[in-house]
Amino acid sequence: MDLIKEDSKSILEQWVNQFSDELYSWAFFKTSSKEVAEDLVQDTFMAAFHKIDSFQGKSQPKTWLFSILNNKVIDYYRLRARTNKKNFSLTENSGYELSDGLFNTYGCWKTNDINAAWDQDQELLDNPEFNSIMENCMDDLPQKWKLAVTSKYLSDKKTETICQELEITASNYWQIVHRSKLLLKKCLELKWV
Partner 1 sequence: MNKVMRTLLRPCKKTTELIDKQMFTPLTLKEKLQLQAHKAICGTCNAYEKQSKLLDALIGKWFAIDSNKKMSTLDEDKKNKIIEAIKKI
Binding site for partner 1 (CB under 8 A): 9, 12-13, 16-17, 20-21, 23-25, 28-29, 34, 38, 41-42, 45-46, 49, 100, 103, 106-109, 112, 114, 118, 121, 124-125, 131, 134-135, 138, 149-150, 153, 159, 170, 173-175, 177-178, 181-182, 184-185
For residue 29, which of 120, 121, 146 has the smallest C-alpha distance? 146
The nearest distance, CB 86 to partner 1, in angstroms, is 28
The nearest distance, CB 42 to partner 1, in angstroms, is 5
Secondary structure class of 174 (helix, strand, coil)? helix
The nearest distance, CB 107 to partner 1, in angstroms, is 3
Q: Classify residue 115 as exposed, middle or buried by CB count within 10 Å of its CB (0-12, 13-18, 19+).
A: middle
Helix ranges (DSSP H) in the chain: 2-31, 34-50, 61-100, 121-126, 128-140, 143-151, 159-166, 170-191
Which CB sits closer to partner 1, 77 or 174? 174
The nearest distance, CB 84 to partner 1, in angstroms, is 22
